[in-house]
Amino acid sequence: MKKQVSMNVLIGVGVGALVVGLLIGGFVRGDRRDDEFAGRNMFGNNRPGPGMMQNTGSGMMAPATPPALTDAQKAELALGAAVHSPKALTFDVNGGNFYFVPNEIHVKKGDTVTINFKNDGGFHDFKIDAFNVATDRIQGGDMKSVTFTADKTGSYEFYCSVGSHRTMGMKGTLVVE
């Protein structure tokens, strides 16, 4: 019993020392001015990559500009909207800070839908609650796929569930006709 109490005290002291060290380190590093970091990305350079947030210089991060639809994505969208009997459809969806391209997908009830989600930058996922669809959270440059059957009609939101990304605009609509 005494050894258990001693071990708990040692762990508590160690965690406390770690917290104090981190706080002191933050104050020591806090002597740098914000303008020293203006225009720099998380890698310490000023070269924003696709899907990376842009520093506005005011300490606020602005959403990156989404890329244009590729010809392949346009063809996938047209195929999904065509008159048809139920079929298997695949959509390549790019996501970044804070967008999805395309951000609207049309399919027919009964279609088997595969979403190939490619993360352009940051840390994101792809979810559609109505169909119990979710990719793992992935880093920029990675890709994950999900497949489901669109078995009910309506408009359904897809979104990124990381932090406040959804409220910052990282969402879109799946329309099942």
Q: Six-digit token pair at 58?
A: 């005011």
130-137 CB contacts, 8 Å cutoff, 24+ apart: 130/154, 130/156, 131/156, 133/158, 134/161, 137/161, 137/162
Residue 170 has pLDDT above 80, yes or no: yes
**Domain map (residue ranges) of the chain:** 2-62, 71-176
Residue 26 has pLDDT above 80, yes or no: no
pLDDT tens digits along 123-142 = 999 999 999 999 999 999 99
- pTM: predicted TM-score of the whole model, two decimal places: 0.57
71-176: what fold?
Immunoglobulin-like (2.60.40)
User: pLDDT grade, residue 31 (50/70/90)?
Assistant: very low
- What b-and-e string marks burial along 85-119, b requiring 16 or more CB atoms within 10 Å of the CB? eeeebebbbbbbbbbbbbbebbbbeebebebbbbb
Top pLDDT among 13 and 79 is at 79
